[in-house]
Structure 1
Amino acid sequence: MTTLFLLVGLPGAGKTTLARRLAEEHRAVRLSPDEWMLPLFGLAEADGKRDVLEGRLLSLGLGALRAGADVVVDFGCWGRDERSAIRWLAASAGASCRLLYLPVDQDTQRARIAHRWATTPDETFPMTEAAILDGRAHFEEPDAGELAGHRLDPPPAPWADWHSWAADRWPSFT
């Protein structure tokens, strides 16, 4: 059975470092929108283009799972609904899903973001203090049931299933 590794955490938590290691160890396809946004648009968020890109990457990832490859999703997935949708999509592709949460305290997060910007500015985005605090305020930390893979919330109204929710959340998802 193929596996989708779903990395969850805020900027500076170490998701991309872990994603690279998992991709190498499991010979997996690694999907990281951050690595596409700068070359394509020069910005982290470009008028909704990130959502479009993530939808295409998810479609690609599901195809890879169906073809027998493991996949690492390095999106951050701050919201429970996003994580539930991706877990459901992985199961619908016949794959298991391993949710890997990387918590990070504020001081470590700030230090890592500053280091990344100082050492690899061509591979990252600048982050203001306001953006860091806003991200922390909007992040929905996974609980024990979600981390264990036992609980999969139903999609919120008015969506009938997670596929419909995903197609609305990520406009290019097919």
Structure 2
Amino acid sequence: MATFHLVSGPIGAGKTTKALEIADQTDAILLSPDQWMHASGIPLRNSEVRTYIEQAQLKIALLVLSQGSDVVIDWGTWGRAERLDIISRVKAEGNTVNGYFLTPELSVLMSQVETRESNWRISDRATPSEIVDSLENFENPQSDELLEYAEIWFSGCEGF
């Protein structure tokens, strides 16, 4: 049985940093649309390509899990319905799911996005309104969802 690490949070929450840390600590395969898009020269705001990549990465993740290796995904997974669907698919194959929720305050998000985009030399920067929207649209996990995880890690998630 393998472990699927689901990292969730708004734009700039530190998902990539956390996902890299998990991958390093667990030898999990890291799947990140941002990294694939950046390496391919595709604008990070291209939602059509992002959706396609996430669908492909989920198929790859299920294949990797079936071979007994752990996987960590670095997606936004803002919505509970999306997370519950992913959890259902992963657990149907007999795997465990660990959840990681990152929701820092808006000022931290703004700072982290500026640092990331400067370091990556990203031309299609996230706008302040996109960052605010991502924070406002992030759905905190509820008790029914939390019961689905083997382990849960929170950062900046006061109020659960």
* TM-score (norm. length: structure 1): 0.79
**Which residue does 1:82 correspond to in 2?**
82
What SS does the aligned partner of 2:12 have? coil
Percent same amino acid among aligned pairs?
32
Counterpart residue identity of residue 24, structure 1: D
CA apart distance, 1:141: 1.5
Between the aligned partners of 1:121 and 1:41, the Cα distance in structure 2 is 11
For 1:10, the aligned partner's letter is: P
Confirm whether residue 95 of structure 1 aligns to residue 95 of structure 2: yes
Q: What 5-or-longer segments of structure 1 have no aligned partner?
A: 151-174
Between the aligned partners of 1:9 and 1:93, the Cα distance in structure 2 is 25
Please report how far the alpha carbon of residue 45 of structure 1 lies from its aligned counterpart in structure 2 after TM superposition. 3.2
1:68 corresponding residue in structure 2: 68
Aligned partner of 2:118 in structure 1 is 118
Residues of 1 paired with 2:137 and 2:103: CA distance?
14
Contact residue 100 and residue 147 of structure 1 kept, 8 A: no
Matches within 5 A, 1:88-167: 88-122=88-122, 125-149=124-148
CA distance in 1, matches of 2:17, 2:145: 23
State the distance in 1 between where 2:78 and 2:124 align. Answer: 18
Deviation at 1:125, TM superposition (A): 4.9
Structure 2: how far apart are the matches of 1:120 and 1:48? 21
Aligned AA (2:59) = S
* Superposed displacement of residue 138, structure 1: 1.7
* Distance change (3 Å), C-alpha of 1:129 and 1:11: same
Runs of 4+ in 1 over 6 A off after TM superposition: none
> CA 1:95/1:125 → structure 2, altered by over 3 Å: closer, same or farther?
farther
Q: Which runs of 5+ in 2 are unaligned?
A: 150-160
Structure 2 length normalisation: TM-score?
Answer: 0.85
- Deviation track 1:62-90 (CA, whole Å, cap 9, x = no partner) reads 00000000000111100111100110111
C-alpha contact (below 8 Å) 2:10/2:135 kept by paired residues = yes
Cα 1:139–1:47, aligned 2, differ >3 Å: closer, same or farther? closer
CA RMSD in angstroms, aligned pairs only: 1.8
**For the residues of structure 2 that align with 1:11 and 1:134, how far apart are their CA atoms?**
9
Letter in 2 for 1:85: D
From the superposition, tell whether residues 60 and 141 of structure 1 become closer, same or farther in structure 2 (CA, over 3 Å): same
Offset of residue 18 of structure 1: 1.1
C-alpha offsets along residues 36-77 of structure 1, whole Å, 9 cap, x if unaligned?
112335211326111111100000000000000000011110
